[in-house]
């Protein structure tokens, strides 16, 4: 289930300080302020006094246009404009191009408890990058029980009851050169309302629990090729005991799906019994899913050939 995001200035700063080259100028103790809209705003019209449609719930960005305008005003007039501007409960202000805010702004902002940052980026580049960063922060999120691995570029989530053999399957895939995204618990984020990206909780990243052995570090055992930070989810594989399945799919004519964060993901159920190479079966399931994305379904191809053959035989009668 998607979790509603509550993004603070502190989270925005900590997650993007490097990419956006954000440096705090004032208001470090006020970073708990909430950003309510996933985009930014340039407050030029509001500075000029027109605040009817002022998008104050967004991160406010000062560029050359805003800074050059306020420089034309007297100190007393700037204070009045800032007081009018900051009477709206905006989350924070960012000055681009390493511009320094005047002392009047810092004084009013500090009084209102509004954090002020600056960035070396040019204004438009900052706006583009900050908008994308905010979209990620505001994106719906969820958690699924299961291990995720990248198999031939197909992000595959392996689910199943505890002890059924998920970790053994993942180890077999890592030995074959594939990459671990997460073990046991996978976090997902919905991007652009259409693409689900999975990643690991920070604390357990690169680690796996293997019954009888304990905790292993996939990167230390198999090398850096065996891990990756995140991956788009393309396939869900559920492991189930053979005897618990009423019917085992033998043809694959119909594609089943499972819904995660409102998006339907192809779903395959693999029966588990002694002697089956589940790692190899998951590898084939991933390749099959990749093939189907190109529009080719081997079951439908075989069915079409059988029908054609039957029609030829009927005509001969």
Say whether both 69 and 163 belong to one domain: no
Say whether both 50 and 152 belong to one domain: no
Torsion of CA 180, 184, 189, 193, to 10 degrees: 100
Query: Do residues 92 and 28 touch, judged by C-beta distance below 8 A?
Result: no
Tokens 């190109």 — which residue?
294
**pLDDT tens per residue across span 43-60:** 999 999 999 999 999 999
Query: Do residues 221 and 234 touch, judged by C-beta distance below 8 A?
Result: no
Question: How much is the average pLDDT of 293-303?
Answer: 85
Q: Please, is 161 exposed, middle or buried when counting C-beta atoms within 10 Å of its C-beta (0-12, 13-18, 19+)? A: middle
Query: Do residues 112 and 86 touch, judged by C-beta distance below 8 A?
Result: yes
Say whether both 148 and 284 belong to one domain: yes
The answer to whether position 103 is within a domain reads yes
Question: How much is the average pLDDT of 189-217?
Answer: 91
What is the pTM assigned to this prediction? 0.75
Residue 97 vs residues 13, 138, 307: alpha-carbon distances, Å: 17, 26, 68
How many domains, the chain? 2
Residue 299 vs residues 135, 246, 292, 304: alpha-carbon distances, Å: 40, 21, 10, 9
Question: How much is the average pLDDT of 178-201?
Answer: 93
pLDDT, residue 2, reads 52
Quick one: angle between helices 75-86 and 103-112, nearest 10? 30
Question: How much is the average pLDDT of 69-82?
Answer: 93
Say whether both 200 and 283 belong to one domain: yes
CATH number, domain containing residue 48: 3.40.1390.20
Residue 201 has pLDDT above 60, yes or no: yes
């Amino acid at each position: 289930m998607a979790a509603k995001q509550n993004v603070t200035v502190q989270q925005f700063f900590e997650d993007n300080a490097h990419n956006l080259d954000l440096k705090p100028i004032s208001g470090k103790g006020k970073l708990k302020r909430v950003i309510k809209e996933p985009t930014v705003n340039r407050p030029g019209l509001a500075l000029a006094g027109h605040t009817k449609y002022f998008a104050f719930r967004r991160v406010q960005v000062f560029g050359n246009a805003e800074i050059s305008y306020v420089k034309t005003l007297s100190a007393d007039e700037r204070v009045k404009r800032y007081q009018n501007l900051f009477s709206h409960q905006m989350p924070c202000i960012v000055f681009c191009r390493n511009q320094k805010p005047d002392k009047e702004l810092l004084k009013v902002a500090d009084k209102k408890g509004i954090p002020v940052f600056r960035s070396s980026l040019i204004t438009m580049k900052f706006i583009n990058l900050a908008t994308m960063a905010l979209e990620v922060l505001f994106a719906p999120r969820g958690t699924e029980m299961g291990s995720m691995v990248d198999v031939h570029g197909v992000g595959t989530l392996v689910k199943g009851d505890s002890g059924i053999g998920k970790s053994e399957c993942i180890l077999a895939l890592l030995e074959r050169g594939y990459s671990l995204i997460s073990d046991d618990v996978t976090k997902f984020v919905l991007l652009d309302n259409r693409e689900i990206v999975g990643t690991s909780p920070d604390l357990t990243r690169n680690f796996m629990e293997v019954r009888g052995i304990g905790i292993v570090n996939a990167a230390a055992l198999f090398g850096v090729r065996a891990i990756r930070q995140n991956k788009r989810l393309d396939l869900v594989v559920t492991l189930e005991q053979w005897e618990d399945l009423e019917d085992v799919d033998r043809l694959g004519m119909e594609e089943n799906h499972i819904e995660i964060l409102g998006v339907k993901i192809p779903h395959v159920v693999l029966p588990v019994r002694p002697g089956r190479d589940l790692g190899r079966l998951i590898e084939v399931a991933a390749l099959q899913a990749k093939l189907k994305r190109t529009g080719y379904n081997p079951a439908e191809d075989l069915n079409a050939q059988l029908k054609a053959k039957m029609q030829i035989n009927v005509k001969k009668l």
